[in-house]
Structure 1
Amino acid sequence: MNLLETIVLAVIEGITEYLPVSSTGHMIIASSFMGIATDDFTKLFTIVIQLGAILSVVVLYWKRFFQGFDFYLKLFVAFIPAVVLGLLLNDVIDNLLESPVTVAISLIIGGFILLKVDDWFKANEEYDENNPTAHSEISYANALKIGFFQCLAMIPGTSRSGASIVGGMTQKINRKTAAEFSFFLAVPTMLGATAYKIYKYFKQGLVLSSEQVNYLIIGNIIAFVVALIAIKSFIDYLSKKGFKIFGYYRIVFGVALLIIHFFIYKLSI
């Protein structure tokens, strides 16, 4: 990796981490086009720079992280499925990460779901007395179910934020609350994924050069700044407009990837 590639991947991470478009899928494709996808450091980098995106959530919602022990317990409950399934399916997930076709198909399927999700859960956005089932509170049962939905993102191209937000909406939770809980859930999920990736990296006997350490620092800073902007913009847009534009984007991007892979340039990951 060089400095330009570092900046490009960090910007992609910052923009896409909290949008329902799959940050992993975008970085897999971008690194493949740049010819660095198979490099061990690139694989580590795409995970570790998520720490910058994590910090943006903590900074934006810092008051919410002091609202009581109950809040942390709910995050822990939602985090459990990812820990269990992540450890059990680690090899399968690693194989899927090497498939651009998997990314493209996941993007397309998820896109069609996002086109309809606003209609499916329209009642969640109604706060009047005629809709007593709509709510903005998340129970422990809700948290666990959202955690299982988040696990769908182990399939590259699915989108962790998209899966967990839709999971929240299936529990009759409004879009804004579901999105914010998805952001909070990203903190333990990304911390866990980062720690595990670093552990595996050094266990393989690999080391980091001073240049690579600098790239990690730069990448995290860029991801943090870009994610700050993306989160605020996304929450505002989502509350007013819904998911349709993200659905169209995923479909167009996924179809374009398939065309490129099979007819123009065989992506090698």
Structure 2
Amino acid sequence: MTESTFYFIKALFLGIIEGFTEFIPVSSTAHLLLIGDWIHFSSNDAKVFEVVIQFGSILAVMWVFRERLWQLIRGTFGGVRSEMMFTRNLLVAFLPAAVIGALAIKYIKAMFHHPAVFVVTLIVGGLIMLWVERKPHFSKHATEADDSVANEHVSARTLEEITWKQALIVGFAQCLAMVPGTSRSGATIISGMMAGIQRKTATEFSFFLAMPTMLAATAYDLYKHGSVLSGQETTAIVIGFVAAFLSALVVVRAVLRFVSRHTYRPFAWYRIALGLVVLAWLALA
């Protein structure tokens, strides 16, 4: 097996990992960086690889929600109030990360881009998830028949019922994901639940919010750094992109089914366990 072939296999593997972790609250970035380091995957600009293959996962979401997305576009331009409000909320939630990302992402990454940070973000994030899930008014299951009576905290049970204030809370929470290991999906879903959005609806809103966020991040990184990539690195990105797209197609539907019936506690415990593994690895290094 040639060195180039081995390099492409690593890119394929990381693409699959990305697709499986992007939409569950365990931090796809932490997995990509940690596993990339463990398998000695390197590129002139690993950040471009990471962001572009993440967009492969986002395209999978766009495909799964294609009918709802098309309804949103038609309704927004057709003057349908509920769709216009939904679009407004997506823009409100997108703006904090867009502004802060444009101004400070370079400094944030330089300051926090270290495996030791993952120990803190993974474990603390897991503990916060466990705390939220222990609160009945946050974690009431979406499928329970008495939900409307027992869970008075929930004020948004559909995407159309989300308020601009709830969207703004989710938007600021998304900024936390700039620190590696936090998890964009985890921050947005949990903050949405805390703001009064039903679990499944918060998950769907997180998926929709990922579309403009990752599209902007991909376009920005390709514009800034795309010219430094070699032909081999470009091929690796394409392989990882396709792998992320295909694996995410499976995961998105599975996540939506899962959150309709279960809490996020298994993911919280997984985060804590992974954080402890990273801590042990750093201690023995």
Does TM-score exceed 0.5, indicating one fold?
Answer: yes
After superposition, the Cα gap between the structure-2 partners of 1:48 and 1:240, relative to the gap in structure 1 and judged at 3 Å, is same
Give the alignment of 1:65-144 within 5 angstroms: 65=69, 66-67=71-72, 68-69=75-76, 70=84, 71-96=86-111, 98-120=113-135, 121-123=138-140, 125=142, 127-129=147-149, 131-134=151-154, 135-136=156-157, 137-144=161-168
Q: Percent identity?
A: 39
Shift of 1:17: 0.4
After superposition, the Cα gap between the structure-2 partners of 1:164 and 1:81, relative to the gap in structure 1 and judged at 3 Å, is same
Aligned pairs, number? 260
Residue 261 of structure 2 aligns to a residue whose secondary structure is: helix
Match of 1:20 among 10, 19, 25: 25
Aligned residues: CA RMSD: 1.8
Gap runs ≥5 in structure 2: 77-83
Residue 36 of structure 1 aligns to a residue whose secondary structure is: coil
Match of 2:272 among 251, 254, 258: 251
CA distance, structure 1, for counterparts of residue 204 and residue 116 of structure 2: 30
Match of 1:43 among 39, 47, 53: 47
Moved over 4 A (4+): 123-126, 130-133
Provide, for residues 189-241 of structure 1, a one-character-per-residue CA deviation record: whole Å limited to 9, x for no partner. Answer: 11111111112214xx61431x3332222211110110011111112112211
Specify the alignment match of 2:63 in structure 1: 59
Gap runs ≥5 in structure 1: none
CA distance, structure 2, for counterparts of residue 247 and residue 144 of structure 1: 24
Specify the alignment match of 2:178 in structure 1: 154
Which is worse superposed, 216-225 or 181-190?
216-225
Shift of 1:131: 4.2
Shift of 1:166: 0.9
After superposition, the Cα gap between the structure-2 partners of 1:253 and 1:138, relative to the gap in structure 1 and judged at 3 Å, is same
Report the AA paired with residue 176 of structure 2: L
Match of 2:10 among 5, 9, 30: 5
CA distance, structure 2, for counterparts of residue 132 and residue 246 of structure 1: 26
Shift of 1:118: 1.6
Which is worse superposed, 88-97 or 247-256?
88-97
Q: Are 1:33 and 2:38 counterparts?
A: yes
